[in-house]
Amino acid sequence: MTIAGLMKSQLRGLLSAILFLMDTLAVTVPFYTVVLLKWIIPIKTWRCSCSWLLHRIGDVWIYFLNLPQDVSRKTRWVIKGMDSLNITRSCLLMVNHQTWVDIMVLVKLFYGRIPDFKFFVKKELLWLPIIGQAFWAVDFPIMKRRSRGELRERPELRGEDLDLTRRACDKFKDMPVSVFNFVEGTRFRREKHLNQRSPFKHLLRPKAGGTALVLGAMGEKIQSILNVTIVYPRGVRNFWDYLCGRVDEIRVHVELLPVTKDLLGDYNRDPQYREHFQNWLNRIWGEKDRRIDEMLGWQS
């Protein structure tokens, strides 16, 4: 890249960052005003109304978050599997994870096409200033996971995480949501791949426990699973590169999977279900690994 081209991309990145910041600041005051009103008035119908309003404020934020991407990006998008997508009930997105850009890709592709976005968050994150209050306000389900050591010492706690998460999901019985789940639990790095001795060429080992917990907690509320595969054919870039328009091409494949009864169970208490679910997820991940090879060969 020439010096002029480099300076132009840096300027584009700076402009995008300023637009993102302005968008965030513009919604901060109305958002946290409603958060305060929701907190001080503990009436269920009132809090439901506040939640609805907070989601609409979030929609405005996401819309303007996507706008500078549409205006300033030169990224080429190759998308397959989205043409007939029609999700009106709750769904689970299983996604491979390589970079923070993945989140921007998901927001851009699925905003307005699936129900409100939700992430399962750890209980400890509620103590983070400002961010923790936002998680509570928009009804992100809180997940409390017991370590294997704790479960060995106190076996009576087995299944507690499922019960707590199921209660957290009760609020979604009349509210369709889309739960994002990066199944590998962390971003792909070559050293992590080697340390895990992953059997997959392009992926880390999937973590079955978290995925099973989401399905077990939400049960029949989940209409379908969206198996999303993201590929950067010219190499993974960081978030700043994305802002600067240096992500030349993004390829995405979306596969719709049914939620069958055999996928719902108690991962901690039922060893037969646990083995079945692990085999199912590993099979999905093996197919995803082969699909990435195919996607890298797609014609640009």
| Model confidence pLDDT, tens digit, residues 119-155 | 777 777 777 777 777 877 887 777 666 556 665 666 6
Rounded to two decimals, the pTM is: 0.83
Q: Rounded distance, CA 226 to CA 96, Å?
A: 12
Residue 7: pLDDT band by 50, 70, 90 thresholds? Answer: confident
pLDDT of 156 reads 59
The H-or-E segment that residue 133 falls in is helix 131-137
**Mean pLDDT score of the chain, rounded to an integer?**
84
Task: Give φ, ψ of 280 to 5 degrees.
Answer: -60, -50
Q: Rounded distance, CA 229 to CA 299, Å?
A: 17
Say if residue 166's pLDDT is above 70. Answer: no
Residue 293: pLDDT band by 50, 70, 90 thresholds? Answer: very high
Say if residue 157's pLDDT is above 80. Answer: no
In 3D, which of 213, 206, 219, 185 has the Cα closest to residue 269?
Answer: 213
The structural architecture, per CATH, of the domain 75-296 is: 3-Layer(aba) Sandwich (3.40)
**E strand residue ranges, the chain:** 76-80, 90-95, 116-119, 121-122, 142-143, 177-182, 222-231, 249-258
pLDDT average, residue stretch 225-250: 89
Report the C-alpha dihedral over residues 115, 121, 126, 130, rounded to 10 degrees. -50
Say if residue 201's pLDDT is above 80. Answer: yes
Give the distance between the most distant pair of CA atoms in the chain: 65
pLDDT average, residue stretch 92-103: 92
pLDDT average, residue stretch 39-59: 89
In 3D, which of 228, 229, 250, 234 has the Cα closest to residue 69?
Answer: 250
Paired strand residues for 142: 121
Say if residue 88's pLDDT is above 60. Answer: yes
